[in-house]
Amino acid sequence: MHALRFHECGKPAEVLRLEELPPPELLDGGVRLRILAAPVNPADLNFIEGTYGVKPELPAVPGIEGCGEVVESRSPDFQPGDRAILLRRAGTWADEVSLLAEHLFKLPEGIDPLQAAMLKVNPATAWRLLTGFGTPPPGSWILQNAANSAVGRCVIVLARTLGIRTMNLVRRAELRDELLALGADEVVTDDDSAVDSAKAALGKDRPSLAFNCVGGESALRLMNLLASGGIHVTYGAMSRRPLTVPNGQLIFKDLQFRGLWVTRWIESAPREELDAVYGKLAGLMGSGALSVPVAATYPLADFKAALEQAAGSARNGKILLVP
């Protein structure tokens, strides 16, 4: 088998190597999958750099999610030809992986493998953001920055299924029409005018829930727009700037600050809950109601080009490796 592997942490383009490795051992109750597609996520890059919440055991193969087809199974729950996504880190930047059947979610038929490869992280993060901190009632507002990100787009779609309205902050004004077409209720540019523009659109309403994926000044704008007692949830740090909370947001508005790492939820949630959530999300994905834009696909051998495009600021969609 072939896999992208690194022997030391550092810049991904500098430390990754395409290597030929022996096939992974297939244990009793295990399943061997041929990887069909695996996305390049920010968490993957942080993992390679050594800055992620989980430190690699070197040498390591990155890839926190992906879609594969069963080629061999020692589990009664899977047969050759079944397709599945991986619910545990298994190094999907490879052409083959093996893991226990309990760490897989079997996909219904008809889902595009490129979309399925992105099912584990971003749609589930969006669902947890909307339902894990007290689901707002239909007709109420939620607030988010980085609304054009994969998670942000999923939030827009899923919020609409719940009857929740979305106020969306984006860095580039030209994204407004695209997100409105997706189902966003309001879109404002994430700059010094954002708070006034959002307040004008909201009228007297104030969201009770905000999702922060940026940090810095953008996170502060969300605080300024939240209702008193509102919940500010951080699930990313795209700007790599810290979350700074003014005293007044705590004293006078009594805001609550929470964090979300979907990996922790996956590891701790009952299997019945995981099956219910991923079943719902897979159904929406299979119907075409939920999708994540794809910017480009690359074979493993072209990983440096994939990493370069993934780092581009103007990219509008995910980069996927297709072994």
Per run of 10 residues, the mean pLDDT along the chain (length 323 residues) is 97 97 92 97 93 91 97 97 95 96 96 97 97 94 96 97 97 94 97 96 96 95 97 88 87 95 95 97 95 95 95 82 95
Rounded Cα–Cα distance for residues 276 and 1 (Å): 34
Specify whether the CB–CB gap between 281 and 127 falls below 8 A.
Answer: yes
The pLDDT of residue 9 is: 96
Instruction: With CA atoms as reference, report the closest residue to 35 among 125, 116, 110.
Output: 116
Asked whether residue 138 falls in the same domain as residue 255, the answer is: yes
Q: Is the peptide bond before 59 cis (omega within 30 degrees of 0)?
A: yes
Rounded Cα–Cα distance for residues 249 and 225 (Å): 11
Asked whether residue 155 falls in the same domain as residue 114, the answer is: no
pTM: 0.93
Classify residue 34 by burial, with Cβ atoms within 10 Å: 0-12, 13-18, 19+: middle
CB atoms closer than 10 angstroms to residue 240: 9
Q: Quick check: is 223 in a domain?
A: yes
33's tokens: 């999958």
Specify whether the CB–CB gap between 225 and 206 falls below 8 A.
Answer: yes
Asked whether residue 158 falls in the same domain as residue 256, the answer is: yes
Specify whether the CB–CB gap between 5 and 17 falls below 8 A.
Answer: yes
Specify whether the CB–CB gap between 7 and 87 falls below 8 A.
Answer: no
The pLDDT of residue 127 is: 98
CATH of the domain at 33: 3.90.180.10
Residue with tokens 């080629």: 71
The alpha carbon of residue 102 and the mean position of all alpha carbons in its chain are separated, in whole angstroms, by 22
Specify whether the CB–CB gap between 57 and 51 falls below 8 A.
Answer: no
Specify whether the CB–CB gap between 211 and 262 falls below 8 A.
Answer: no
Structural domain including 186 reads 134-233+240-260
CATH of the domain at 140: 3.40.50.720
Pinpoint the alpha helices (H) of 172-258: 176-182, 194-202, 216-225, 247-251
Catalytic residue flag (residue 298): no
The pLDDT of residue 240 is: 76
Q: Quick check: is 275 in a domain?
A: no
Q: Quick check: is 72 in a domain?
A: yes
Q: Quick check: is 279 in a domain?
A: no
Asked whether residue 112 falls in the same domain as residue 152, the answer is: no
If one counts the domains in the chain, the total is 2
Point out the catalytic residue in the list 52, 235, 278, 298: 52
Residue with tokens 């860095």: 171
Asked whether residue 79 falls in the same domain as residue 14, the answer is: yes
